[in-house]
């Protein structure tokens, strides 16, 4: 797994030691990291320190633009949203899989329900199957002991 940080240096004129998690700096920093690390992907890209001058929504928006291009491509092909593709992919895995998406908004609920109508092609499913899997444990050691009772 390849992990690196962003946000401790401004690439928009503030220089080293200045917190900057603006979308422009994030894009510049990731390009530099990819070049220096000699790779085409980063598994874990995290914020070094919270930038009080950049709204967190802007930071996460910029990070979201850097992610799951393959999921976006499948969504465009399928005429669906990335969230619908994720749910449709899980639903295609078999009758023993029951995704439980959470939401607080009716529009998201409707979007999630519509995922049941999304029909992914075998090639789209294969593309999604080949994506780098999530890494790490959901539960820590103490929580696992509680689950294993």
User: With 0-12 CB in 10 A as exposed, 13-18 as middle and 19+ as buried, what is 42?
Assistant: middle
What is the residue extent of each domain of the chain? 3-66, 69-129
**Containing H/E element for 44?**
strand 44-47
Q: What helix, strand, coil percent values describe the chain, rounded to 5? A: 50, 10, 45
Q: What is the pLDDT of residues 95-118, one digit of tens each?
A: 898 888 877 889 989 999 999 999
Tell if the pTM clears 0.85, that is, is over it: no
The answer to which of 10-14, 53-57, 110-114 has the lowest mean pLDDT is 10-14
SS3 at position 149:
coil
């Amino acid at each position: 797994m390849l992990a690196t940080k962003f946000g401790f240096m401004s690439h928009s004129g503030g220089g080293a030691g200045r917190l900057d998690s603006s979308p422009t700096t994030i894009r510049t920093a990731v390009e530099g990291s990819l070049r220096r690390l000699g790779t085409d992907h980063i598994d874990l890209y995290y914020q070094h320190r919270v930038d009080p001058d950049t709204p967190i929504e802007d930071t996460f928006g910029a990070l979201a633009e850097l992610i799951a291009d393959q999921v976006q491509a499948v969504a465009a092909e399928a005429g669906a949203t990335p969230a619908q593709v994720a749910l449709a992919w899980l639903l295609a895995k078999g009758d023993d899989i029951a995704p439980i998406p959470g939401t607080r908004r009716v529009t998201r609920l409707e979007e999630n329900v519509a995922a049941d109508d999304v029909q992914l092609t075998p090639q789209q499913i294969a593309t999604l199957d080949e994506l780098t899997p999530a890494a790490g444990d959901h539960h820590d050691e103490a929580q696992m002991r509680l689950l294993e009772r």
